[in-house]
Amino acid sequence: MFPDPSFPLRPDICFKTADQPWEEEAIHRMNHRTFAEEIPQHEMRPDGRLVDRFHDTNVYQIAVQGTILAGMLALRFDRPFSVEQKVPEAMAGLPAGHRWCEVRLLSVEARFRGSGLLAGLLRSALPVARARGCDAAMISATTRQLKRYGHMGFTAFGPLIGRAGAWYQPMWLTLDHLGTAVPVLAGPGKKEPLNLLPGPVAVAPWVRAALAQPPCSHRSPEVLAMVAAIRQNLSDLTGARNVALLAGGGTLANDVVAGQLRQLNRPGVVVAGGEFGQRLADHARRAGLEFALLDTSLHPDR
């Protein structure tokens, strides 16, 4: 978890994925305060708890101050989504070619509103959604805050859903757009300098946010799902039947390519136009490939 940089008066506000029993209980109570007491979407309950019907499959991103739940949202990755169940025909209004997730139960405790906490919640959700292979999100936006959602770049689709006093507008946007729009919502702050040199490479905010999250096991369901999604994406892009992921840099990639070429058992050509081309020739030699070297650096007119 990491502090909200747009919340200077409360540096102890942190964002994380909910994983503690007390956090789960606080989520149920905030859910009731927001969507039963404040927005009359659900009936009031004597115990002040509202367990979401998708609770078992929700991934909750929360903002906490010590043991106080300041804000929350839920991410869903399983179809059918809530919007899809209520108005199936509305899904036809979404652009094709995206991998979708659904943002639900977005709520900020009253005394923390207007502080940049909403932006922090959305920022913290970006790496979680991307890790699941998603590149776009839909949300049922309360009509009380449509202007705010519009500023974030959300686009409406489908009819209003809900009931009197609790109307919602289905909306969508791409995660790339959200990643650029959300920092503006956090209020004024120091802008990072624009580096036009070859390095050091600028690290995107959602990458920094992901690195700040607690590490998870490479055998966990979340990581296995992410690896499966990456393999499927690579298979779709290349048309390959089998895809393997290897941890390493470009040098390892060159060795793997050379190893694959060796299985062809026939001669080839390595074209070298400079240092990196010569490195490819070195990889080929080390792999025992039979090849001719065409060094264009010696013949710049070619």
**What is the block-wise mean pLDDT of the chain (302 residues), using blocks of 10 residues?**
41 86 96 94 94 95 93 94 89 90 93 81 90 93 86 88 89 85 49 64 73 82 88 90 88 91 92 89 93 80 54
| 159 found inside a domain | yes
Distance between first and last Cα of the chain:
55
How far is residue 247's CA from residue 146's CA, in Å, rounded to a whole number?
43
Q: Same domain for 156 and 207?
A: yes
Q: Same domain for 181 and 234?
A: no
Q: Same domain for 109 and 255?
A: no
CATH code: domain of residue 144: 3.40.630.30
| 91 found inside a domain | yes
Q: Does an H or E element contain 275, and which?
A: helix 275-286
| 197 found inside a domain | no
What pLDDT is stored for residue 183 in this prediction? Answer: 53
SS3 content of the chain, % helix, strand, coil (to 5): 40, 20, 40
Q: Strands 155-156, 291-295: parallel, antiparallel or unpaired by DSSP? A: unpaired
Nearest to 71 by CA among 18, 142, 121: 121
How far is residue 201's CA from residue 2's CA, in Å, rounded to a whole number?
22
| 195 found inside a domain | no
| 90 found inside a domain | yes
Nearest to 210 by CA among 291, 129, 299, 267: 129
Q: Same domain for 182 and 226?
A: no
Q: Same domain for 37 and 171?
A: yes
Number of independent structural domains in the chain:
3
What pLDDT is stored for residue 210 in this prediction? Answer: 74
| 272 found inside a domain | yes
| 281 found inside a domain | yes
Q: Same domain for 72 and 131?
A: yes
Q: Same domain for 130 and 220?
A: no
What domain range is 17 assigned to?
A: 2-189+202-213
Q: Same domain for 176 and 262?
A: no
Q: Same domain for 267 and 238?
A: no
Q: Same domain for 209 and 222?
A: no
Q: Same domain for 182 and 267?
A: no
| Helix runs in 87-220, H state only | 117-131, 146-152, 175-185, 205-212
Q: Read off the tokens for 144.
A: 């009380």
- State the pTM of this model: 0.58
How far is residue 151's CA from residue 244's CA, in Å, rounded to a whole number?
41
How far is residue 181's CA from residue 113's CA, in Å, rounded to a whole number?
19
Sequence-separated (6 or more) residues with CB below 8 Å from residue 4: 10, 13, 14, 15, 63, 116, 117, 120, 186
Q: How far is CA 88 from CA 21, 158, 164, 187, in A?
A: 34, 9, 21, 37
DSSP SS3 for 5: coil
Sequence-separated (6 or more) residues with CB below 8 Å from residue 273: 295, 296, 297
| 196 found inside a domain | no
Q: Same domain for 18 and 161?
A: yes
